[in-house]
Amino acid sequence: MSKTILFVDGSNLYGGFTEILKPGEYFDFSSFLKIMEKDFKIDQVNFYGTYMRIDKRKSKEIHKLSVMAQKAFFDSAKRNPKVKFTKGHFSGFGKEKAVDVKLAVDIAVGAARNEYKEAIIMTGDADFIYAVRTAKNEGKPVHLAAFCTRFPYGMFFSADQKIVYDFGRYFKKHILPNLKFKPKNLIIKEISPKIKIKVIK
């Protein structure tokens, strides 16, 4: 199989957005994807996300805005023709269930079944390192794409090409100076002039 698949940890990515955006703000996924397509040839996007639920124990207005913005972000991903959306769900303890496992299995099993030629993983979670190594043992290049607020440092050493999409120089100001070992061959791309912040209506 000659295609390249982008695996997106959607809940983690949205969580990264909330660290720099105001409640009710989000990025349109298709706009984000267009930026990435200047760096990677992407044939298919496997997007994994668990919709947040309104928690009555939290600050009502801010929490509600965050829930609505996440839905808008996920919906923008669903509208993209390249996206295959996998919906996760919460356990009875309010924690995400199954979706992270599904992402990891799809990377590893997809490599073994020759379902893709190359993979790109977009996440801030280093827990996927075993899946990445498994795919690489099958001879598949696996690239890392990370949003500036969430850098999976442990995965850096296993990935092939490594790109951080920075916004407002957040990564350069707040993350990079605090890394114990400065990563080599890391590409940092500022995207703030190229992507607009969306606000829920």
Q: Quick one: pLDDT at residue 2?
A: 85
Q: What percent of the chain has pLDDT over 70?
A: 94
Which residues span the domain enclosing 76? 4-199
Tell how strand 118-122 and strand 142-147 pair up: parallel
Structural domain count, the chain: 1
pLDDT tens digits, one per residue of 160-178: 999 999 999 999 999 999 9
**SS percent in the chain: helix, strand, coil, step 5:** 35, 25, 40
**CA–CA separation, 16 vs 106, rounded Å?**
23
54 against 70, higher pLDDT: 70
Q: What is the CATH number of the domain that holds 170?
A: 3.40.50.1010
Mean pLDDT, rounded, for 47-72: 86
Residue type, 148: C
**CA–CA separation, 171 vs 77, rounded Å?**
24
Q: Quick one: pLDDT at residue 54?
A: 73
Tokens of 17: 């957005």
CA angle 189, 76, 57 (to 5 degrees): 95
**CA–CA separation, 106 vs 135, rounded Å?**
10
pLDDT at 95 over 70: no
Q: Quick one: pLDDT at residue 97?
A: 56
Mean pLDDT, rounded, for 1-30: 96
Q: Quick one: pLDDT at residue 93?
A: 44
Q: What is the pTM of this model?
A: 0.93
